[in-house]
Amino acid sequence: MSNTRIERDSMGELQVPVDALYGAQTQRAVDNFPVSGQRMPAQFIRALILAKAAAARANVELGQISAAQGKAIVDAAQGLLEGQFMEHFPVDIFQTGSGTSSNMNANEVIATLASRLLGETVNPNDHVNCGQSSNDIIPTSIHVSAALALHEQLLPALLHLVQVIERKAEEVHPFIKTGRTHLMDAMPVRLSQVLNGWAQQLKANIGHLQDLLPSLQALAQGGTAVGTGVNAHPRFAELFSQQLTQLTQVQFTPGKNLFALIGSQDTAVAVSGQLKTTAVSLMKIANDLRWMNSGPLAGLGEIELEGLQPGSSIMPGKVNPVIPEATAMVAAQVIGNDTVITIAGQSGNFELNVMLPIIAQNLLSSIALMSTASRLLADKAIATFKVNEARLKEALSRNPILVTALNPIIGYQKAAEIAKKAYQQGRPVIDVALEHTDLTRGELEILLDPEKLTAGGV
């Protein structure tokens, strides 16, 4: 019994697996692009299926396909979304640059299911793809999938991270530590000031991502082949966005200029750039945690991160900062993804960008990676670390840089001399200052009080 069937397209006949929902064009792509073994991201395919449902609804309203055909297409799309749809989408990421193979994959799968539901032929091109081109549906699906991923995953994850940091800042507010610039001892800071600095970095990133959402939610759909809208009803773009908004509960609109949205991927590049900036912030936070946790004996040892797993296959008892390390690697990957998207964004040759699949892959990968890493960093590192108060106080008491507070009274030069003596002699700065100034110990205790120094002023 044969395990294949014969399918036909404009180029002729082709053998397709007998149980496959897709047809000849998908099979050609499978045969032509055995490149990486990586399929297009599930979030992208989900957006593409949603777009097909929205297009069918719009085309029924516009009289471009029958109500029965439209219902069958919508029901087929809904059925896919409710199941394990990725098994029906085998096309490699590294395919034709327009993503035509993935578009036809969706058209063929939905047409097969819709034909079964309707009891008559629903054509992949004439019905499922009605009013569309790969050149507008793929850029649209990139925008839709990224917008949904930001709304559903990354923005909530970053907000959760901010909330955890701010709660931890309240908890550690009483603790004062030696500040560091150039990795060298500097003036004291509250641990809460450090954490609230992290929180503000992330809030700024959240704000910048939110600012990009209106552009991301403006769609290329309706431009068809080159942006002119040939073969699409004049109201198709408007009704498509309305239907997609109903399906997703996210506000989508037609783009102001469809030529720009098909010929370029500037919005995706901008979003990726902001994802890179967010990754840089996560890297800074992860590295601060690693430094403060370092030791515990030969490092700073200011905090103790939760021990999650043995840290060495040879050194018993060693425990490493695994969550910050994982976060740092995620950040590095996102930075790399942005480089790929930047290069791909330059491939808008005339009326079409021809690196769309890799833009979709890297953009969604960055969002997914940081969504997961942000929650892990919040729940398994920041929420659970303990403060080594004794280590903080020991370092503060021996920090000659506290002498900076005496500058307005004794001058920079005299203060520098006292700091150098304190370093050389390994003594607390208050003892050295008592010997080399006319200030009393009581006055010095007030002037050099680390708690007061964290509040600024003269």
Q: What domains sit in the chain, N to C, each tagged with a CATH number? A: 4-130 (1.10.275.10), 136-229+252-387 (1.20.200.10), 399-454 (1.10.40.30)
- What is the reported pLDDT for 397? 87
- What is the reported pLDDT for 458? 82
3-state SS class at 177 = strand
Calpha distance 54→57 (Å, rounded): 5
Residue from 364, 363, 353 nearest 138 by CA: 353
Predicted confidence (pLDDT) per residue in 410-432, tens digit: 999 999 999 999 999 999 999 99
Calpha distance 319→334 (Å, rounded): 27
Calpha distance 268→147 (Å, rounded): 10
448 half-sphere exposure, CB direction, 13 A CA radius: 26
- Amino acid letter at 121? T
Calpha distance 275→212 (Å, rounded): 11
Q: Residue 434 in contact with residue 441, Cβ under 8 Å?
A: yes
Residue of 101, 127, 141, 182 with catalytic role: 182
Q: Cβ of 314: how many Cβ atoms within 10 Å? A: 5
- What is the reported pLDDT for 114? 98
Residue from 189, 148, 39, 18 nearest 101 by CA: 39
3-state SS class at 260 = helix
Q: Residue 358 in contact with residue 38, Cβ under 8 Å?
A: no
Residue with tokens 């034909």: 115
Instruction: Establish whether 192 is a catalytic residue.
Output: no
Structure tokens at 263: 């010929």
Instruction: Establish whether 233 is a catalytic residue.
Output: no
DSSP character string of 11-80: TEEEEEETT-SS-HHHHHHHHH--SSSPBPPHHHHHHHHHHHHHHHHHHHHTTSS-HHHHHHHHHHHHHH
Torsion of CA 277, 217, 222, 64, to 10 degrees: 140
- What is the reported pLDDT for 390? 97
Distance of CA 133 to the CA centre of its chain: 29
Strand ranges, E, within 50-158: none
225 half-sphere exposure, CB direction, 13 A CA radius: 2
- What is the reported pLDDT for 316? 96
Q: Which residues of the chain have a pLDDT value below 50?
A: 1
Residue with tokens 């040939």: 230
Backbone phi, then psi, for 274, in 5-degree steps?
Answer: -75, -35
Annotated binding site: 98-100, 123-126, 133-135, 181, 313, 318-320
**Length of the chain in terms of residues written:** 458
What ranges in 294-388 are assigned the alpha helix state H? Answer: 322-345, 356-377
Q: Cβ of 446: how many Cβ atoms within 10 Å? A: 12
Residue from 231, 236, 335 nearest 282 by CA: 335
Annotated binding site for substrate: 98-100, 123-126, 133-135, 181, 313, 318-320
Calpha distance 288→155 (Å, rounded): 23
Q: Residue 8 in contact with residue 14, Cβ under 8 Å?
A: yes
Calpha distance 321→279 (Å, rounded): 18
Backbone phi, then psi, for 61, in 5-degree steps?
Answer: -60, -30
- What is the reported pLDDT for 372? 98
Instruction: Give residues with Cβ within 8 angstroms of 323, minimum separation 6.
Output: 305, 308, 376, 377, 380, 381
